[in-house]
Chain A
C-alpha cells in the first residue's frame, strides 16, 4: 500500500513510468520461471546484490540532469573498494574506515566537478580520463583481489533494522540527500542549469555551483554504494566497478533521465537499475546456455528500451492533444 502511494506520487505523469512498468513486467516473468521469486528472501538478496548499482544510478542521474555525464563512477567504486579493504587490513576500525571511504569518493566526485564546472572541461572527456586514473590507482593499491571486511559489516548488511532490510538504508542515504536538495531553491536551479546553462546564467543562477553539487553528489552516492558492495562481497577487487559506469548511465536513461539535461528524476533510475538486475536473474535462472546468456540479456534490454520509447511517444502525443484542448478553453473567452 505504501509502495502504491509512493509510486502514485513519484511515478505517475513522470518519465519514470516506463522503467517501473518494465521492472514489474520482468518481475512477473521471473515469477513464472523461478517459483519463490516473490518471497521476501529472494527480494532481499536481489536488492543486496543490486544496491551498489542503484546508488551509482542515482549519482549518474543527477549528473545527467545537471547537464553532464560521469563515466568514472564505476572505477571510483573500484578505488574505494580496495581502499576500504586496505584500511581495514591496516587495523582501522570500520567506524572510521567507512566515513573515510565515502569522503574519498565525494572528493573524487568534486574533483570531476571542478574540472568540468569551473575549468569547463568536457564532462565526457574529463571523466573518461579520470576513470583511467582511478582504475590505475585501484590496480596499484591492490593488484589481485583479496582481503576481508569486519564481521560486523557483513552481519549488519545482511540483517535488518526495525524490520527493514539494512540494504534499503544504503539506498535511502543518497535518495534522501537528493530529495532534500530538491526541496531548496537549488532544486529548480540545477534543472535549469542542466537544460540551458546560458539562460540559467542570465537568470542569476550560479551554474558552476549547481554542477559541482551534482558531481559531488555522484561521488557521495558511489561511496555509499561501495560500502554496500564491500559489505556484501566481503573482499576487495580492483576491477569490481569496471562495468558499473555504463550500467548506471543506462539505468538512468531507462528511468527517464534525458541525456539532454534537465529532465527526469532519480526514482526512475532506481527502477531502471532493478530492471537491469532482473535481466541477469532471469537469464541465469532460466538455464540458458552460457554462450547465449549475453545475447539474450541484450535482446531483453533492447526490447525493453523500444517498449519504453513507444510508450513515451504515445504519451507525449496524448499530452500534446490535451494541451491543445486546454489552450482552447483558456482562450475561449
Chain B
C-alpha cells in the first residue's frame, strides 16, 4: 500500500503539485491520467527519490517513509521507470538491465553466470532475447523503453511506478507489458501506470486517478467513466471533438514537391519510393522497426546521401543541414537527444532555426508562442522547465516561421498528453493548409487517424518489412484498416494496394 499525502512541489514559478493525495493498494494497477504539466511525473519522481517534495509525506503500509534518493526508494521497495529513461548508452543491454541490482557472490564479486540467467529470463519475457549483448546506443526507441521496464522489473520491488513506459511501444510490445503487469498484480504488487493512451488504461488498469493542475481530482474504478468523461475531467472543460477541416483540394493538378524513387530500408535490403504533393499530409504506419523512421530520416539527410527530386529538379541531400536549406523541417519524438537545447531559454530554442531576428526577438517569440498555445512564464526561462508537450510545441514552433516545403516528423507526439497532441495536430494541419507537406511517422495508429481527419488531402501508408503494403485514403483511414495492413495475414495480403 502506497499513500501520498498532501504533496506539494514548486519549480521556480510553476506549481507542479499542490496538496496532491493518492492511495494505491497492493495488487492494484492504478492508472494516472492528466495533461502534460498536471503533475503526474513529479508525483512519481517524488516517490522514486529523484525529486524532493516541498511538503507532504509518503506512507508505505501506513508507516511514514522518508525518501531522499533513488537509493532510499529502492531500499523501501519502490522502483520507478523514467520517461527520460535511465538507460546509459555506453553499457550493453545486459549491463543496463542489471545496473541497479547486479547479482554478486559473497556480496562482492559479480556473479556473471547468475547475471546472464537473470537477464536472459527477463529479456525473453520482453521478447528482446536476441539483444542481450547489444550496445544500447543502436537500439530502436521502443526497445529502449522495454529495457527500462525490464530494468525496473528485475529489481523486484513491491511498488512499481511506470511513467509513460508504453509511449513509444507498438501494440505487440504493449501486449507483453500488459501480461507482465497482470503477473505483478497477481503477486500483490502495487502499480502506478501513467499513460496517455486511453485504450491502454482501459485494458490494463483496475482504477484510474485523474490529475489536473497538480491535484488529484478524482479516482474511479476503470468501468465507472467512459473515455469522454475522463477527458473532460482531465481538461476541466468540455473537450472539443476534432473537427474536420476541408483541405485545399487543389492537389490533383499540382506537381509533387518531393519525389524519392529509392529510399533504402537497409535492415530489409529494400527500398521504397514516395511522392509528396504540396499541402499533403502523409501518415506512416506499421509495426515496430519496419522502416517507417528510415523514410523520414533518410529524406532529412540523416542516413547519408539520397537522391530525390524537389519540384521536379533532381537534387542530392547529403546532410540535415542541406535538407533544411532545401526547406525541409525535421521533428523528432526523441526530444531529449534530438530536439531541445537543454541549457537554453524558450526564446533561444524557438529561434534556433527560425528567421526571428535578434532584435525584437522577444516580441516575435511571444507572438509565436501564443499562436501555438505554449504554457510558459517567460521567454528567458529554461526550456526544460516546461512540460514535455510544451517543449515539443516550441520545437514545432521553430519551423512555423520558416514555412517549410516539407515537414518530416518521427513520432513527434510521443509521451504527450491528448490535449497537447491535438494542439500539435492543429498546428501541423495549419501549416499544411499554408502549403507545407507533412510526412509523419507514428507508433500510435489512432493518432494518424485523427491527424488525417484534419485534411481531405491526406493518406496513410503502411509499411511491412521495408515495403509499402497499403495506402489508405479518406474513409478507409481507420485504425482497423491500418492494423490489418500492418500485420498481413498471409502472403500477398494488404488490400492489394500499392
Contacts and interface: CB of A to CB of B under 8 A. Distances in A.
Chains A and B form a bound pair: yes
Interface of A: 183-185, 187-189, 191-192, 194-196, 199-206, 262-263, 320-321, 323-328, 330-332
B86 A202 contact: yes
B95 A188 contact: yes
B138 A202 contact: no
A263 B86 contact: no
B109 interface: yes
B269 interface: yes
B397 to A, nearest CB: 27
Contacts, number: 94
Nearest to B84: A199
B109 A183 contact: yes
Interface string B62-80: 0000000111011000001
Contact of B87 (A191, A199, A321): A199
A192 B50 contact: no
A204 B70 contact: yes
Interface in B444-495: 465
Contacts of B266: 321, 324-325, 328
A256 to B, nearest CB: 13
Contacts of A326: 134
A327 B140 contact: yes
B107 to A, nearest CB: 10
A201 B70 contact: yes
A328 B86 contact: no
B377 interface: no
Contacts of A185: 98, 102, 104, 110
Contact of A189 (B48, B70, B99, B130): B99
B104 A196 contact: no
Contacts of B371: none
Contacts of B131: 330
B269 A328 contact: yes
B88 A262 contact: yes
Nearest to B50: A202
A327 B88 contact: no
22 contacts: A183-B109, A184-B108, A185-B98, A185-B102, A185-B110, A191-B95, A194-B90, A196-B89, A196-B90, A199-B86, A199-B87, A202-B48, A204-B73, A205-B99, A262-B90, A323-B135, A324-B267, A325-B267, A327-B289, A328-B268, A331-B288, A331-B465
Interface in B82-133: 82, 85-91, 95, 98-100, 102, 104, 108-110, 130-131
What 8 A-B pairs have minimum CB-CB distances, sorted nearest first? A328-B267, A185-B102, A262-B90, A195-B90, A192-B88, A204-B70, A324-B266, A204-B74
Interface of A is mostly: helix
Given A188-B95, A332-B465, A203 B100 contact: yes
A184 B95 CA distance: 12
Contacts of B269: 328
A323 B102 contact: no
B272 to A, nearest CB: 15
Nearest to B112: A183
A200 B288 CA distance: 28
B40 interface: no
Contact of B86 (A184, A191, A203, A323): A203
B70 A192 contact: no
Contacts of B108: 184
Contacts of A328: 266-269
A182 to B, nearest CB: 8
A295 B98 CA distance: 49
B290 interface: yes
Given A327-B289, A331-B288, A188 B267 contact: no
Contact of B88 (A183, A200, A204, A331): A200
Considering residues A188, A262, A326, which has the most beta carbons from chain B within 10 angstroms of its beta carbon? A188
A331 B140 CA distance: 11
Considering residues A189, A321, A331, A332, which has the most beta carbons from chain B within 10 angstroms of its beta carbon? A331
A75 B69 CA distance: 37
B464 to A, nearest CB: 11
Given A262-B91, A327-B140, A331-B289, 5 more contacts: A184-B104, A196-B88, A196-B90, A204-B69, A327-B267
Interface string B379-407: 00000000000000000000000000000
Contact of B99 (A184, A188, A263, A331): A188
B290 A331 contact: yes
Considering residues B48, B82, B86, which has the most beta carbons from chain A within 10 angstroms of its beta carbon? B86
Interface string B267-287: 111000000000000000000
A323 B267 CA distance: 9
B117 to A, nearest CB: 16
Nearest to B87: A199
Considering residues A199, A204, A321, which has the most beta carbons from chain B within 10 angstroms of its beta carbon? A204
A200 B70 CA distance: 10
A205 B69 CA distance: 10
Contacts of A194: 90
Nearest to B99: A203
